[in-house]
Amino acid sequence: MTTTHRETVGPRFDPTLMQRARELAWAALHGIRERMHPGISEDEAKVEAAEVFRELGFERLWHPTYIRIGSNTTKTYRQRSDSGVRLGENDSYFIDIGLVFDGHEGDVGDTFVVGHAPEQQACANAARALFHEVAQAWRMQGLSGQALYAFADERAKAMGWRLNHEIKGHRVCDFPHSIHKAGDLGDLEATPSGGLWILEIQIAHPTEPFGAFYEDLLTDAPAR
């Protein structure tokens, strides 16, 4: 499949609306964060998330909402959470949401800590830092999707974390991007264009049962 085909967009595609969808998705994520508290379960958090989405006027989900708590932060979207997990007093969780606004896809994710959990906080900070390093390497060096994830793996190891290789990023555009069957960013042999690809970073502690996740749209300007 050619890179041109992999970056095909639909007839409604508008970069301005893509950016708006991104901003609203981040607003939704932080709205969910404000509702998280010790004792909440993942299912209860998803109920709160749905209320946040309605308040922001979303059109639909384009992928399920993932809220992972504690040891479930090491799991990918393909894996079921262990049941019965609730947010502890000193704990971490991540949020991964995919929403459609004005016919365009927003996809964002981040990890947060409650209470005093310094190792989990270091992991969350590392996921954000690694995302920004990889995104900057794309901006400055024009790396391919494959090279970006090779770089991410190298840097994660140097930082003392384990990169989850099953998480490789993906396309977004006007809904539904899936009709273009673009494949994963981590398999792209060419340099990805800005405003069309989600860079996903998921790391985990090498021995302890917790991890962190961060994702955002690759854009020519530095990410948030």
Report the C-alpha gap between 223 and 45 in whole angstroms: 26
Confidence of residue 149 (pLDDT cuts 50, 70, 90): very high
Q: Name the residue among 133, 110, 118 with its Cα closest to residue 205.
A: 118
State the CATH number of the domain containing residue 211: 3.90.230.10
124 belongs to a structural domain: yes
Residue 183: the pLDDT is 87
pLDDT tens, position by position, 91-142: 999 999 999 999 999 999 999 999 999 999 999 999 999 999 999 999 999 9
Q: What torsion, rounded to 10 degrees, do the Cα atoms 153, 157, 162, 163 define?
A: -10
Cα 58 from chain centre: 18
Count of domains for the chain: 1
Domain that holds residue 187: 3-217
Report the C-alpha gap between 5 and 13 in whole angstroms: 15
Residue 68's φ and ψ, nearest 5 degrees, are: -110, 135
pLDDT tens, position by position, 67-85: 999 999 999 888 999 999 9
pLDDT tens, position by position, 186-204: 999 999 999 999 999 999 9
Report yes or no: 172 and 156 within 8 Å, Cβ to Cβ.
no
26 belongs to a structural domain: yes
Q: How many CB atoms lie within 10 A of CB 145?
A: 25
Report yes or no: 136 and 222 within 8 Å, Cβ to Cβ.
yes
Report the C-alpha gap between 97 and 135 in whole angstroms: 20
Report the C-alpha gap between 213 and 158 in whole angstroms: 18
151 belongs to a structural domain: yes
Per residue in 41-61, is it b (16+ CB within 10 Å) or e — as a string? bbebbeebbeebbeeeebeee
Quote the Cα angle for 205-78-30, to 5°. Answer: 70
Per residue in 4-38, is it b (16+ CB within 10 Å) or e — as a string? eebbbbeeebeeebbbebbebbbebbebbeeebee
Pair of tokens at residue 120? 């989990």
pLDDT tens, position by position, 22-81: 999 999 999 999 999 999 999 999 999 999 999 999 999 999 999 999 999 999 888 999
159 belongs to a structural domain: yes
222 belongs to a structural domain: no
Total residue count of the chain as it appears in this document:
224
Report yes or no: 7 and 177 within 8 Å, Cβ to Cβ.
no
